[in-house]
Amino acid sequence: MKKSVSYVVFILAVIFIVLGVYRDEVVELFTKAIYICLECVGIG
Amino acid sequence: MDRKRAFTQLITTLLYNANLKGFVEGRIYQGTSKNICVPGLNCYSCPGAIASCPIGSLQAVVNNPRYKFSFYVVGLLALFGVILGRFICGWLCPFGWFQDLLNKLPSRKLEWTKRLRNLRFLKYIILALFVLILPTFFVSSPTFCQYICPAGTLGASFPLLATNAPLRALIGLNFYWKLFLLIIITVLSIVIYRPFCYGVCPLGAIYSVFNKISFYQLRVNKEKCISCQKCLKVCKFNIYAAYDCQSLECIRCGSCVSSCPTEALSMGFRNKAKDENKKLTK
């Protein structure tokens, strides 16, 4: 039972990643990650 | 096991932060590998970081009203979680390693007693409020990174502010608040094992959900177990591994496995651990 749940979650995770890439979420993430995040540094 | 784990933590921290020249130049890495999240908590504004922090990324995407939900980051977190569970916290998280090192300093140590153990629920509240609800519906900033994350203060603020004078000029009240939190976590880490992981970390909260179903498991061979409670005595989170080997708080550090006198405990990927148990029972 648990084994099948793990495989279902694994497949869902891969589908989510593909869907996220399709929705251009990676671009949003990348844009945030390549500039200094002032909030993270504590000055934003 | 302890040395193996410390070595893995060191290598992981170096790999996550391989852009060493960033520390000298006071600039962050801008290569395409930042499209990907690392499994552990490692600020993407750390000058050394060559990939993204999953908690920062999650907030960055949901901050944009166009998305409201990040399939990509949730998918990555689920993938990491279902493969490794909280093994990531124990072996692959730089901030976890930082707390491990602090806890090695000589001092009077506190235990995670029954009363203190209720603090574990706090991390789920922080995950829901600061990582999901506030950034999605109410504010357009990564609230966890902004007001709580001590990994950002340690990995990003210190090296960037040390080398970047214009940034230093912007220091305000929020920086001192985050510095205060980092000091609290640092001092607590010396006297009690991994307080941030146990009570605050939203990434730990996410991975804990996967601990029961992850492919990587801690297993107990009931036929070999003699109920000596050695696993309980060595566990820094006070988990009785022989009876609760899938505990949500277990970071798979392996102390219980090393201490078990009958080799009843084993750690590994599901089938491998099962086979090992079968071999032991033969």
Residues of chain A numbered 1-40 and touching chain B (CB < 8 Å): 2-3, 5-6, 9-10, 12-21, 23, 25-26, 28-30, 32-40
A·B CB contacts under 8 A: 149
Answer yes or no: do B130 and B221 share one domain: no
Q: How far is residue B57's CA from residue B61's CA, in Å, rounded to a whole number?
A: 6
Answer yes or no: do B36 and B52 share one domain: yes
Answer yes or no: do B126 and B49 share one domain: yes
To the nearest 10°, report the CA torsion of B99, B101, B102, B104.
130
Q: Which residue out of B29, B32, B61 would a mutagenesis test of the A interface target, given it has the greatest number of A Cβ atoms within 10 Å?
A: B61
Using an 8 Å Cβ cutoff, are B232 and B180 in contact? no
The helix/strand/coil state of B74 is helix
Domain boundary, last residue among B182, B209, B236: B209
Using an 8 Å Cβ cutoff, are B49 and B152 in contact? no
Give the CA distances from residue A12 to residues A15, A16, B71, in Å, rounded to whole numbers and listed in that order.
5, 6, 10
Domain boundary, last residue among B178, B209, B240: B209
Task: Name the band, by pLDDT with cuts 50, 70 and 90, for residue A29.
Answer: very high
Answer yes or no: do B197 and B264 share one domain: no
Distance of CA B61 to the CA centre of its chain: 21
Q: Which residue out of B30, B82, B144 would a mutagenesis test of the A interface target, given it has the greatest number of A Cβ atoms within 10 Å?
A: B82
ipTM, two decimals: 0.95
Range of the domain at B143: 2-209
Q: Domain count of chain A?
A: 1
Using an 8 Å Cβ cutoff, are B28 and B49 in contact? yes
Backbone torsions φ then ψ of B268, nearest 5 degrees:
165, -175
Give the CA distances from residue B133 to residues B28, B141, B272, in Å, rounded to whole numbers and listed in that order.
29, 12, 39
Answer yes or no: do B131 and B192 share one domain: yes
Q: Tens of pLDDT along B79-103?
A: 999 999 999 999 999 999 999 999 9
Q: Tens of pLDDT along B100-134?
A: 999 999 999 999 988 899 999 999 999 999 999 99
Per-residue pLDDT at B247: 94
In B, minimum Cα distance to A39 occurs at B146
Answer yes or no: do B232 and B154 share one domain: no
| pLDDT beneath 70, residues of chain B | 270-282
Q: Domain count of chain B?
A: 2
Give the CA distances from residue B217 to residues B100, B148, B180, B282, in Å, rounded to whole numbers and listed in that order.
22, 31, 37, 21
Give the CATH number of the domain where residue B256 resides. 3.30.70
Per-residue pLDDT at B282: 44
Distance of CA B231 to the CA centre of its chain: 22
Answer yes or no: do B205 and B221 share one domain: no
Average pLDDT for chain A: 90
Q: Chain B partners of A6 at a C-beta cutoff of 8 Å?
A: 82, 213-215, 270
B175 touches chain A (CB under 8 A): yes
Range of the domain at A27: 2-41
Mean pLDDT value across residues A1-6: 82
Per-residue pLDDT at A43: 79
Per-residue pLDDT at B270: 64
